[in-house]
């Protein structure tokens, strides 16, 4: 087990632990509001976070056994992440199930990063536009993305409580 990402693992786990009850406490009117800059509801943001954990898990696994630089789709470009959200219809998903999926997707992601082969950390992925991102960078950048979406949810919760 690689201890390099122990802090990231702990951070993800503690954020999940803190946010799970907060998410589960939200009522339907708060979940249905479309107020963030991308016109996503809280349900859709949570769904996007699940997609992010899933896609990053797949990248991390493939970067450890496939030839690099890895050619693996970038689901977030050209509006594709919005297509993923629409196709999976997160807006109509049962909220409790969606939160549990979010929770366990991220706890599994934390488990996966603890088990990365250290000698593979500099393997790279073509992210698009000729940009290459190392396995180390993928993992290192994940908490920032995770917290960005949690802050979006926080803003939507606070906006709805004011109105």
**What pLDDT was estimated at residue 161?**
55
Average pLDDT, integer, range 140-149 = 97
Asked if residue 134 belongs to a domain, the reply is: yes
Has residue 107 been placed in a domain?
Answer: yes
Q: What is the CATH number of the domain that holds 149?
A: 1.20.120.450
Domain membership flag for residue 63: yes
The pLDDT of residue 155 is above 60: yes
Q: So what's the pLDDT on residue 64? A: 96
pLDDT tens digits for range 73-92: 777 776 788 999 999 999 99
1 in a structural domain: no
Mean predicted confidence (pLDDT) in 116-145: 93
| pLDDT at 38 (0 to 100) | 86
Count of structural domains within the chain: 1
More confident of the two residues 41 and 131:
41
The answer to whether residue 129 sits within a structural domain is: yes
The Cα 54–Cα 23 span in angstroms is 20
pLDDT at 1: 61
Mean pLDDT of 32-38: 76
Q: Give the structural domain span for 12.
A: 6-162
- CA dist 53 and 145 (Å) reads 10
Q: Is residue 62 in some structural domain? A: yes
CA gap 66, 54 in Å, rounded: 18
């Amino acid at each position: 087990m690689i201890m390099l990402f122990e802090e990231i693992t702990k951070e993800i786990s503690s954020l999940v632990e803190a946010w799970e009850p907060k998410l589960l406490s939200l009522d339907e009117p708060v979940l249905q509001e479309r107020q963030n800059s991308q016109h996503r509801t809280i349900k859709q943001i949570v769904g996007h976070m699940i997609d992010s954990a899933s896609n990053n898990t797949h990248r991390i696994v493939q970067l450890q056994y496939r030839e690099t630089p890895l050619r693996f789709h970038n689901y977030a470009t050209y509006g594709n992440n919005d297509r993923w959200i629409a196709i999976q219809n997160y807006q109509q998903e049962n909220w409790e199930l969606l939160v549990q999926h979010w929770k366990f997707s991220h706890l599994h992601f934390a488990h996966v990063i603890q088990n990365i082969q250290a000698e593979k950390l500099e393997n790279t992925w073509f992210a698009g536009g000729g940009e290459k991102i190392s396995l180390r960078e993928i993992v290192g950048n994940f908490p920032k993305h995770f917290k960005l979406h949690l802050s979006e949810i926080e803003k939507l919760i606070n906006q709805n409580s004011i109105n």
